[in-house]
Amino acid sequence: MNPLALEFKKRATASVADVNRRKLVLTALSKFEVKRNEKVAQFKNWQKGRELAAALKWDALENLAENLELLVNNLEKNGAKVHWAATGEEAKNIIASIAKEKNAKLIVKSKAMTAEEIHLNEALEKQGFEVVETDLGEFIVQLRNEPPYHIVFPAMHLTRYEISDLFSEKLKSQPTDKAEELTMIARRVLRDKYIRADIGITGGNFAVAELGAISITENEGNARLTAALPRVMITLIGIEKVVRRMEDLALFLPMLATAGAAQTISGYNTLYSGPRKSDEIDGPEEYHVVLLDNGRTELLADPVERDALRCIRCGACLNVCPIYKTIGGHAYGTTYCGPIGAVITPRMRGIEDWQHLSYASSLCGACTEICPVKIDLHHHLLKNRRIAGTKTPVWWQKTAFKIYAKISNSPTLWSLMTKFGRLGQKLHPLIKGTKLDPAYAWTKNRDLPPIAKQTFKEWWRMRK
Amino acid sequence: MKITLFIPCYIDLCYPQVGKSIVQIFEKLGHQVECPESPACCGQPAFNTGYWEESQETAVKVLEQFRDAEVVVIPSGSCGAMIKVFYPELFEGSEYEELAKSVSSRCYEFTSFLVNRLGVIDLGARFPHKVTFHDGCHGLRELNNKLPPRVLLSKVKDLELIEMTAAEQCCGFGGTFSAKFPMISTAMGDTKCASALETGAEYITSCDSSCLMHLQGIISRRKMNIKTIHIAEILAQQ
């Protein structure tokens, strides 16, 4: 088995054994579900909203080149500097060279999954820059030196007691079990960072082509401070985030808030279109937008799975996924976890290495059912499996299915197998629960039903 | 009507009473029942694992068997979805494409056949027990079969249906997934069983014996105080 798959299994096993953590996540997501359903019900027609959102995103992607051109032209007209990055490496180099040119020491960041995707923090830290995450959840996981647990709720796996201990250790604060006090501790540390920071880096939720503006959704206001206080602002955004019109946001912003955060609308929705103008009192002196490809155009070339580029990173598929709820976000070992991660990671980072994620699903379809932009998630997992089964077939599995097809197709062989099965079951107690047991994966934690004394087919034959 | 049954492999081997109940129900309603000897399997395990060629080997046999059937009824949302939803995809562009579409259009999951095709909702059954219903994912999301089983259960005398919070959440079976990732699969099953136990029901019922096999496996091992039963067995009780 490939080492990444083995590691995944190890982490999944550990997550399953961590019963308290599982309970914490499950309880949080159950409460979230109730709230989200209330918000969904506020839509006059949620299903039609999904269809429209999917169609708008589809249209934006079908005309991606044209929309990007329009976006770039308008951004430049607004005074922004636009950079194209084909790969994560390129994006990191672009950002690092801006930071060097500005003699920056301290960089503040608001939450950006694209930055996680290309491991931007490590790259900048290696070059001597101090990088501070300002989203509360992200700030917490950064202090713990771990990746976000969830696309939208990076620290949802932690209790307030764990956060209090973490703050006491790293920030020398007094222990407290009050969420408000914990927030205030983080705020005191972060306010100082904002004021001293040379550069602010953000992600982006949508890039509005006709305006030449980046739309950022948040609830804490930290992205606004990241954008407004430092002299230089950099936005790192995937090219698939482009939408054509300002009015598209009228649907996307409430959709994102509902599906992702169980809110009618998020606390802050801000459009960033360029640096401070001469008659404006605040804002950065320079605004850079880095447009990231990093495998997206390859996915766009796939006639079936390209719909995964519609993703607005709301995390709705994680919240309903029984696998995610069971193993949590870290077990995946990827930037994007949950169903969307299981779909796009094998396509972006190699099916040979990451196919296990496509198999680590019961194909229940809860993700597809909730996705606000109607990505056919669980069917894509099936398709990934087909690619894996064709490109890198496992010989014994292929042989087993071939033999099973022969047995299934022949009444004689089927009867014979039934008899063997009964005999096998008599002998089974001798090896049950040991490594010799061919059904060990099942019998370790579950009982197997016995083969009936008279199968249905045997009964049917007698009856006739 | 002449009804052709497709009895999935695990029902044939381990749950013959499900098939027998269905024969009894249809015959009582005055229909003629047929059941071909083979194939035993619809080809879903190979299909879901990514081995489409091997899946086709079984699926072709299914198509040939059911070429002339008036209707095909399957006591499983999972195998039902395989034939109804995935066969046309499996055979897309092949010589069997048309036949796959034709069989798909004549194929029904058992409860949806009773309610949507035959228009029968009251089978005169009596089952004096508290029951909770588990939606099999394929039946629920591929076949959109949320209401038929509930309508049928609502007509069973003395049966009390208590919905569990996690009715629509996957039980964790997932075919070969249950063997490839047993730790995740059983943990999901535990969550499902806990939700079922909360209702105080005596039975978990479902349209799918495969989900029930997985849940029963956990229930027996952990000695939980609840049983599993396929919906056809309830509907056949007098």
Per-residue pLDDT, A196: 97
Q: Count of A–B CB contacts within 8 Å?
A: 194
Contact across the interface for A456 and B16, Cβ inside 8 Å: yes
Structure tokens given for B173: 């079976």
pLDDT band with cut points at 50, 70 and 90 for residue A437 = confident
Instruction: Report the Cα A107 to chain-centroid distance in Å.
Output: 24
Measured between CA atoms, the residue of chain A closest to residue B168 is A366
Structure tokens given for A116: 């996680």
Contact across the interface for A456 and B20, Cβ inside 8 Å: yes
- For residue A459, give the nearest of B20, B43, B137 by CB distance: B20
Per-residue pLDDT, B238: 87
Distance from A147 to chain B by nearest Cα, in Å? 22
Residue B42: name the closest of B92, B81, B91 by CA.
B81
Q: What is the largest CA-CA distance in chain B?
A: 52
Neighbours of A319 (CB within 10 A): 28
Chain A residues within an 8 Å CB radius of B38: 408-411, 414
Instruction: Look at the block and give the residue holding tokens 């950065």.
Output: A284
Distance from B121 to chain A by nearest Cα, in Å? 26
Helix orientation angle between A19-42 and A3-17, rounded to the nearest 10 degrees:
90
pLDDT in tens, A282-298: 889 999 999 999 999 99
Contact across the interface for A455 and B185, Cβ inside 8 Å: no
Contact across the interface for A447 and B216, Cβ inside 8 Å: yes
Strands A232-238 and A286-292, sheet pairing:
parallel
Distance from B213 to chain A by nearest Cα, in Å? 7
- For residue B49, give the nearest of A13, A389, A405 by CB distance: A389
Instruction: Report the Cα B133 to chain-centroid distance in Å.
Output: 13
Per-residue pLDDT, A396: 94
Structure tokens given for B109: 């999951």
For residue B93, the SS3 value is coil
Instruction: Look at the block and give the residue holding tokens 């196919």.
Output: A355
Measured between CA atoms, the residue of chain B closest to residue A34 is B165
Contact across the interface for A449 and B14, Cβ inside 8 Å: yes
Distance CA A74, CA A166 (A): 44
Q: Which CATH class name applies to A50-294?
A: alpha beta
- For residue B37, give the nearest of A369, A397, A457 by CB distance: A457
Helix (H) or strand (E) holding B205: strand B203-206
Strands A81-85 and A286-292, sheet pairing:
parallel
Contact across the interface for A366 and B55, Cβ inside 8 Å: no
Distance CA B31, CA B26 (A): 5
Q: Do A298 and A91 form a contact (C-beta atoms < 8 A)?
A: no
DSSP label at residue B157? B
Mutate which: A332, A409, A419, vs B, most B CBs within 10 A: A409
Distance from A402 to chain B by nearest Cα, in Å? 6
For residue A247, the SS3 value is helix
| DSSP line for A100-140 | HHTT--EEEE---HHHHHTTHHHHHHHTT-EEEE-SHHHHH
For residue A433, is pLDDT > 80?
no
pLDDT band with cut points at 50, 70 and 90 for residue A66 = very high
Chain A residues within an 8 Å CB radius of B37: 411, 457, 461
For residue B107, the SS3 value is strand
DSSP label at residue A452? P
Give the CA dihedral A390, A394, A396, A402, nearest 10 degrees.
-10
Instruction: Report the Cα A215 to chain-centroid distance in Å.
Output: 19
pLDDT in tens, A368-414: 999 999 999 999 999 999 999 999 999 999 999 999 999 999 999 99
Structure tokens given for A301: 């070339």
**A208: β partners:** A213, A243
Contact across the interface for B191 and A326, Cβ inside 8 Å: yes
Q: Is the ipTM of this complex over 0.90?
A: yes
Produce one character per residue of A441-461: b if its CB has 16 or more CB atoms within 10 Å, e if not: bbbebbbbbebbeebbbebbe
Per-residue pLDDT, A282: 84
Return all residues near B144 (Cβ < 8 A) that are at least 6 apart. Answer: none
pLDDT band with cut points at 50, 70 and 90 for residue A281 = confident
Give the CA dihedral B177, A398, A400, A8, nearest 10 degrees.
-30
pLDDT in tens, A296-332: 999 999 998 999 999 999 999 999 999 999 999 999 9
Distance CA A76, CA A410 (A): 69
For residue A438, is pLDDT > 90?
no
Instruction: Look at the block and give the residue holding tokens 């009982």.
Output: A447
Q: What percent of chain A lies above the pLDDT cut of 70?
A: 100
Sign of CA dihedral A117, A122, A128, A129: positive
Per-residue pLDDT, A449: 94
Distance CA B172, CA A323 (A): 8
Q: Do B6 and B72 form a contact (C-beta atoms < 8 A)?
A: yes
Name the H helices within A197-232: 222-228
Helix (H) or strand (E) holding B222: helix B209-222
Chain B residues within an 8 Å CB radius of A323: 184, 188
Measured between CA atoms, the residue of chain A closest to residue B143 is A365
Residue type, A205: N
Measured between CA atoms, the residue of chain A closest to residue B36 is A457
User: What integer is the mean pLDDT of A153-165?
Assistant: 97
Q: Do B2 and B31 form a contact (C-beta atoms < 8 A)?
A: yes
Distance CA A109, CA A192 (A): 14
Distances (CA, A) of A167 to A21, A156, B136: 20, 16, 45
Alpha-carbon radius of gyration of chain A:
26
Chain B residues within an 8 Å CB radius of A16: 183-184, 187
Q: Do A305 and B166 form a contact (C-beta atoms < 8 A)?
A: no
Residues of chain B with pLDDT under 70: none
Strands A213-218 and A268-272, sheet pairing:
antiparallel
Distances (CA, A) of A165 to A23, A139, A177, A364, B45: 20, 14, 10, 38, 48
Chain B residues within an 8 Å CB radius of A26: 191
Contact across the interface for A446 and B169, Cβ inside 8 Å: no
Chain B residues within an 8 Å CB radius of A30: 165
Residue type, B182: P
Distance CA A314, CA A257 (A): 8
Residue B186: name the closest of A295, A22, A214 by CA.
A22
Per-residue pLDDT, B38: 84
In degrees, rounded to 5, the angle at the alpha carbon of residue A434 between the alpha carbons of residues B48 and A322 is 40
User: What integer is the mean pLDDT of A339-346?
Assistant: 96
Strand segments (E) across B64-138: 71-74, 107-109, 130-134
Per-residue pLDDT, A7: 96
Distance CA A175, CA A168 (A): 6
Topology alike, domains B2-117 and B130-235:
yes
Instruction: Report the Cα A172 to chain-centroid distance in Å.
Output: 32
Residue B206: name the closest of B185, B224, B182, B233 by CA.
B233
Distance from B118 to chain A by nearest Cα, in Å? 24
Residue B142: name the closest of B78, B87, B232, B56 by CA.
B78
Distances (CA, A) of A81 to A73, A106, A202, A414, B161: 10, 21, 15, 69, 63
Residue A459: name the closest of B128, B125, B24, B105 by CA.
B24
pLDDT band with cut points at 50, 70 and 90 for residue A431 = confident
Residue B13: name the closest of A406, A398, A448, A410 by CA.
A448
Residue A249: name the closest of A53, A106, A453 by CA.
A53
Q: Do B227 and B219 form a contact (C-beta atoms < 8 A)?
A: yes
* Per CATH, domain B130-235 is 3.40.50: yes
User: What integer is the mean pLDDT of A125-132?
Assistant: 98
Distance CA A187, CA A132 (A): 13
Chain A residues within an 8 Å CB radius of B186: 445-446
pTM above 0.80, yes or no: yes
Per-residue pLDDT, A348: 87
Prior bond of B39 cis (ω within 30°): yes
Q: What percent of chain A lies above the pLDDT cut of 90?
A: 92
Per-domain boundaries in chain B: 2-117, 130-235
DSSP label at residue A309? G
Q: Do A82 and A72 form a contact (C-beta atoms < 8 A)?
A: yes
For residue A1, is pLDDT > 80?
no
Q: Select the CATH number that applies to the domain covering B2-117 from these four: 3.40.630, 3.10.20, 1.10.3470, 3.40.50.
A: 3.40.50
Per-domain boundaries in chain A: 1-42+316-393, 50-294, 402-463
Structure tokens given for A434: 């040991």
User: What integer is the mean pLDDT of A214-236?
Assistant: 96
Per-residue pLDDT, B85: 97
Contact across the interface for A360 and B180, Cβ inside 8 Å: yes
Contact across the interface for B15 and A452, Cβ inside 8 Å: yes
